[in-house]
Structure 1
Amino acid sequence: MADAVPLIDLDASPRPEPGAAAPRPRLSAPRPVLILAVLVAALLTLAAATPPARTMEPILAAGGTAAAAFTLGPDALYTASFGANPNSESGIRRYALPGGEQLWATSLPQNVQNLTLDGSVLLARSGSAPRMSFLDATEGKVLWTLNEPNATVVTLSGGRALLRIDTDDGGTELRLAAARTGATIWSRLVAGVGEILNDDLFTDRPDRIVVLGVDGQVSTLQFADGSVLGQGELGVRLPAESDGTLPGDFVGVAVSGDQLYLSRRDRGRASLAAYRLPQLTRRWRTEGGPTGFVHDCGPVLCIADAGRVSGLDPSDGSVRWSSPAWRNAWRLGEGTLLAYDQQENPESAILDARTGAVRRELGRTLSVGGLELREDSKLAGRTWVAVADGGDGTVHTVGSMQTGAPYGCMVRRPYLACPTSAGPTTVWQIP
């Protein structure tokens, strides 16, 4: 580099003697011009050494139309195409990340509406029929299929599939099967199952299954072998159907960790009780407070009643704070919550979990996998993407994408996959 730069003599040229021949022109430059050139070269060198800006980069637009379903793996995107009708076949494809090349394509005789990935097994489920197909995620071949009426996959985790099969006599079979072969690991018949409650079923290593019967009986089973760890009676009967609203008489049962919470409103009287699993030992009970479904929010328990959200003391159920501004709130970081307000198209905010105070208003923003997806308030169809630096709510914007509403996006760092306004499912690499 140095050899390509000419040497410049900075000495002033001597004044010629009278009558002497004019000297040959020399490579000289006025001092201000020389200084400017040196500064420009230095700035160019610094610019070359400065790392690129932290921005998101599109690396794949999969297919020419919208996908019926998609999911992200650590190094691949999987998509399912729409069939011509609810019973027509679907195409399943795998694309490499970050390269974007299509690795395989498989046709299935079902209209796939959901894809779930667990290690080397990809589960494809229909939207209207009970048929389910388990595929080798690496090669795309079908490993086995399940086509039993009233059968659902509760969870696919750790190379195992937990199946729920409701029988005609009102009973329920719980069956744990090997994800690659379908071979039964264990099976147990349970009478009158209303719900399966525990919140760790969708983790990498589920430990227990908490089964709630329609008659209020709670059974806790070992996930690995189906053995009964404990049983108890709540003394309530579940409603035949629930549409998610809070009627005048209400029963809401939720599990968080090793705690079960029973919220009731009976002829206008509200109560909330906490039980320890698996023996269903009561820890505390309160009366007159909010009703709803309880979930863990770090320093508090969150409960959403009709028209407000409250933070409860986990040790005794007392109300620490309550706010009519929010429809619901969920744990975001250490000591923070993400809350959505009462609007039909809700806005969100970050709250202090201990006090309910607003730390930062987010507007129409979704929080997905540590990213904030915010609709542009002026330009329709554009969504801004910001990376959350921590639970305190600090973020930095890394780019934008063309999508009207950022629903249905999936994050598996360093990748973000979203439906787009143009149709194709697009994947970005996030810094």
Structure 2
Amino acid sequence: MSAGPVVIDLGVRTNEPPAEPAPSRPALARHLRTAVTALVVALVLAVGGSAPQPGPALVEVAAPPTSIWQQELLVGDRLYVVHPPTDRSFRRTVTAYDLTRGADLWTTPIGVETRALGPEGEASLSIAGERLLVHTEDRTFVLDTASGRLRASVPHHVTGGDAGNVGLVREPIWSFVSDDPAVNATVRVVAGASGEVVHVTAVEPGEAPRVSVQVDGVSVRAFDLDTGAELWATGSVTAGELLPGEPPSVAVLTRDGVLEVRDARTGAVRHSRARAVDGSMGWLGVVGDLVLVQTGLSEATAYAAGTLETVWRAALPRHGAAYDCGAVLCVAMAGRSLLIDAGNGRPLGEVVANGHLDSRGGHLLRLGPREGELDHTVDPYSGRPLVDLSDWPDPVTGAEGSPLVLTRPDQLPDRAWFAVLEPGATRIQVLGPVPHRVSQCQSSDTHLACRTGNGLRVWTYR
């Protein structure tokens, strides 16, 4: 369709009222000064003054080779990827990418060679200080984050902390129990992952008792992350958690209710607290420099991690389940959650929640009824809802210490939007769209990484 005619105003006017008298010289000067000032302001605003206009909030910086069977982990400006075997390399490989320089740092093969190419078992990655832990179906590989050197290989799923080079394995212990009263009750007790026989009860020859299986606690085992050597192990206990700080230590809750702090390398008991928990069932958590235990059904106690001195004791609603919510302790009940100050044990408020509460990116979050969706941020010291997240219900998996990054699909099929809620902020900052449908997104404090229809893509967002 052609454009219409162009009309040029030549300044010829007819049948108009006569012009008003020209202004006096002083008035004219004032008008000129005003016009010039307005023009200067407009030009300054147009060029942004001394502050340049901000660039795009999302800038794509990497699109590394991608396989549908790979797993990745984003930490700061570093991306770690576990690649499946190929027809060139018959072993899994781990690659580290420097996203700032846009360069591969190192590639390390792990595991044994396999000639059967195809879907691999699930693998996952985590960081323990300066070590990258790669968890596969049957073992954990420990790699140096700077060089990629393989430090150790442990035939268990090992979790590590920031301090020291000790990792823990929590191995369930199973009891095989007979339901025949004529036969000794316990047939045998074995450690789940390794199959190691912990205890055997004799059975009369020729008898084949009917048995049931039940969990009989866990065995906590400590490993050196630099050599893979086992350092020490417990018998059947209720729980074990690494404690922050140096020298590294482990909190252990025994089956008879004793709370212990053990040396992480030797297993020697440094401090002990008898009757910390009533019976063999209890909850053990670590919040900052406090060790929290749920005693019985209606009480929680906080102990100083370094000495096991009692810091506070708080009553809980009967049958409430306590768990760590960052700056506060959350107690889940039917349709609501109680908030307790982790520093002094005082109740702070209640939150009506169809889902439950979680702590991410410096915010306490109320989750929606659909698994994983976000509803509101919550004031941890009153339970009052703060920021409505219903328009951004999908959180991005964030690295520890990174802001809360949010995403949502666009009406266009191949576009997604991102936003960020900084720690302490009460307004969502929209970052903008990307021209892809995204999934399995991760965020650090500077970057975003998502699976797209065209492989893995990475953007900077601040």
TM-score (norm 2): 0.65
Q: 1:225 to 1:311 in 2, by over 3 A?
A: same
1:92 is matched with which residue: 84, 91, 94? 94
C-alpha offsets along residues 284-306 of structure 1, whole Å, 9 cap, x if unaligned? 352645600232553x4321223
Alignment partner of 1:286 is 2:315: yes
Contact 2:373 2:395 in 1 (8 A): no
C-alpha offsets along residues 93-127 of structure 1, whole Å, 9 cap, x if unaligned? 2222223333433332355712234465333221x
Alignment partner of 1:420 is 2:451: yes
Question: Which residue of the partner structure matches residue 328 of structure 1?
Answer: 356
Question: Which residue of the partner structure matches residue 123 of structure 1?
Answer: 133
1:175 is matched with which residue: 222, 230, 233? 222
Unpaired runs of at least 5, structure 2: 1-31, 113-119, 172-190, 200-217
Unpaired runs of at least 5, structure 1: 1-30, 239-250, 266-270
Contact 1:67 1:79 in 2 (8 A): no
Q: 1:189 to 1:118 in 2, by over 3 A?
A: closer
1:366 is matched with which residue: 387, 395, 408? 395
C-alpha offsets along residues 35-66 of structure 1, whole Å, 9 cap, x if unaligned? 99999987776589724335021111121334
**Distance in 1 between residues matched to 2:105 and 2:343, nearest whole Å:** 53
C-alpha offsets along residues 363-384 of structure 1, whole Å, 9 cap, x if unaligned? 2042632032132374566543
**Distance in 2 between residues matched to 1:414 and 1:328, nearest whole Å:** 28
- CA deviation after TM superposition for structure 1 residue 328, in Å: 2.1
Question: Which residue of the partner structure matches residue 192 of structure 1?
Answer: 236
Question: Which residue of the partner structure matches residue 396 of structure 1?
Answer: 429
Question: Which residue of the partner structure matches residue 356 of structure 1?
Answer: 383
2:334 is matched with which residue: 297, 306, 310? 306
C-alpha offsets along residues 185-240 of structure 1, whole Å, 9 cap, x if unaligned? xx333221332245x55xx86843111234433221234654322222312223xx
User: What is the DSSP-based 3-state SS (H/G/I as helix, E as strand, rest coil) of the residue aligned with 2:424?
Assistant: coil
Question: Which residue of the partner structure matches residue 293 of structure 2?
Answer: 261
- CA deviation after TM superposition for structure 1 residue 80, in Å: 0.7
Contact 2:360 2:404 in 1 (8 A): no
Question: Which residue of the partner structure matches residue 178 of structure 2?
Answer: none
Q: 1:37 to 1:280 in 2, by over 3 A?
A: closer
Question: Which residue of the partner structure matches residue 56 of structure 1?
Answer: 58
- CA deviation after TM superposition for structure 1 residue 74, in Å: 4.6
- CA deviation after TM superposition for structure 1 residue 156, in Å: 4.8
- CA deviation after TM superposition for structure 1 residue 169, in Å: 1.1
2:141 is matched with which residue: 133, 138, 145? 133
Question: Which residue of the partner structure matches residue 82 of structure 1?
Answer: 84
User: What is the DSSP-based 3-state SS (H/G/I as helix, E as strand, rest coil) of the residue aligned with 2:459?
Assistant: strand
Question: Which residue of the partner structure matches residue 117 of structure 2?
Answer: none
Contact 2:406 2:419 in 1 (8 A): yes
Q: 1:293 to 1:360 in 2, by over 3 A?
A: same
C-alpha offsets along residues 62-83 of structure 1, whole Å, 9 cap, x if unaligned? 2133453222345432101235
**Distance in 2 between residues matched to 1:286 and 1:318, nearest whole Å:** 9
Contact 1:348 1:365 in 2 (8 A): no
Contact 1:310 1:321 in 2 (8 A): yes
**Distance in 2 between residues matched to 1:405 and 1:345, nearest whole Å:** 16
1:221 is matched with which residue: 245, 256, 262? 262
1:295 is matched with which residue: 300, 324, 344? 324
**Distance in 2 between residues matched to 1:188 and 1:161, nearest whole Å:** 11
Q: How do 1:9-24 and structure 2 match up within 5 A?
A: none
Question: Which residue of the partner structure matches residue 370 of structure 2?
Answer: 343
Contact 2:358 2:367 in 1 (8 A): no
**Distance in 2 between residues matched to 1:222 and 1:293, nearest whole Å:** 27
Contact 1:290 1:303 in 2 (8 A): no
User: What is the DSSP-based 3-state SS (H/G/I as helix, E as strand, rest coil) of the residue aligned with 1:157?
Assistant: coil
**Distance in 2 between residues matched to 1:263 and 1:173, nearest whole Å:** 21
Contact 2:166 2:265 in 1 (8 A): no
**Distance in 1 between residues matched to 2:49 and 2:312, nearest whole Å:** 63
**Distance in 2 between residues matched to 1:321 and 1:43, nearest whole Å:** 48
Q: Which moved more, 1:189-198 or 1:52-61?
A: 189-198
- CA deviation after TM superposition for structure 1 residue 346, in Å: 2.7
C-alpha offsets along residues 126-152 of structure 1, whole Å, 9 cap, x if unaligned? 1x22x33233434434333233xxx33
**Distance in 2 between residues matched to 1:52 and 1:259, nearest whole Å:** 46
Contact 2:72 2:80 in 1 (8 A): yes
Contact 1:58 1:427 in 2 (8 A): yes
Q: 1:89 to 1:353 in 2, by over 3 A?
A: same
Contact 1:333 1:391 in 2 (8 A): no
Q: 1:255 to 1:354 in 2, by over 3 A?
A: same
Q: Which moved more, 1:385-394 or 1:307-316?
A: 307-316
Contact 1:290 1:310 in 2 (8 A): no
- CA deviation after TM superposition for structure 1 residue 424, in Å: 2.7
- CA deviation after TM superposition for structure 1 residue 320, in Å: 4.1
2:279 is matched with which residue: 232, 236, 257? 236
**Distance in 2 between residues matched to 1:319 and 1:406, nearest whole Å:** 39
**Distance in 1 between residues matched to 2:309 and 2:338, nearest whole Å:** 25
Q: 1:322 to 1:157 in 2, by over 3 A?
A: closer
Alignment partner of 1:208 is 2:249: yes
User: What is the DSSP-based 3-state SS (H/G/I as helix, E as strand, rest coil) of the residue aligned with 1:133?
Assistant: strand
- CA deviation after TM superposition for structure 1 residue 258, in Å: 1.8
Question: Which residue of the partner structure matches residue 21 of structure 1?
Answer: none
